[in-house]
Amino acid sequence: MAKGQLTRGQLTRGQLTRGQRWADALTAGMGSWRFLICQTVLLLCWAGVNLWTTWRWDPYPFVFLNLLLSVQAAYSAPAILMSSNRREAQDRARSVKIWRLEQEDHLQLQNLLLHIDRHFHSLNCRVDSLEHKMNK
């Protein structure tokens, strides 16, 4: 099994590695409205301070801001993908479990239908026998 892949028993949160928990936390944080609003406010403040004040640490093309956003993207994208892949593995394992349960239910239903069919056939034979006796 490749490193980082989930085993069958690792589907619960308590059995995740530290890296998997961090990836989930990062994904949850970066996928929220709170993060988007905070980052938008931060970017607007950064641009405002560097455009309209005398204290400019990153003048107009905002090279340092671009560097910071690139580093953020470089580290967040793989973590988001790791979290997504793990959730996909969880969904796949859950689907396999559901499929197996459905197969068992299908077999039980078939057995039940066969049992009912046998009883129905037995009842038909008895009714035919009774009708035959009544017609004599």
Q: What is the pLDDT of residue 31?
A: 87
Query: Distance (Å, rounded) from C-alpha 85 to C-alpha 4?
Result: 10
What pLDDT score was predicted for residue 135?
A: 87
User: If you count them, how many residues does the chain have?
Assistant: 136
Listed by start position, the domains of the chain span: 18-135
CA distance 59 to 63: 8
pLDDT tens-digit series, residues 40-73: 999 999 999 999 998 889 998 999 999 999 999 9
Distance CA 18, CA 79 (A): 12
Residue pair 43/31 in contact (Cβ under 8 Å)? The answer is no
Q: Which two tokens stand for residue 126?
A: 């008895």
Residue 112 has pLDDT above 60, yes or no: yes
pLDDT reported for residue 5: 52
User: What mean pLDDT, rounded, does the chain reach?
Assistant: 89
pTM over 0.95: no
* Confidence band for 34, pLDDT divided at 50, 70 and 90: very high
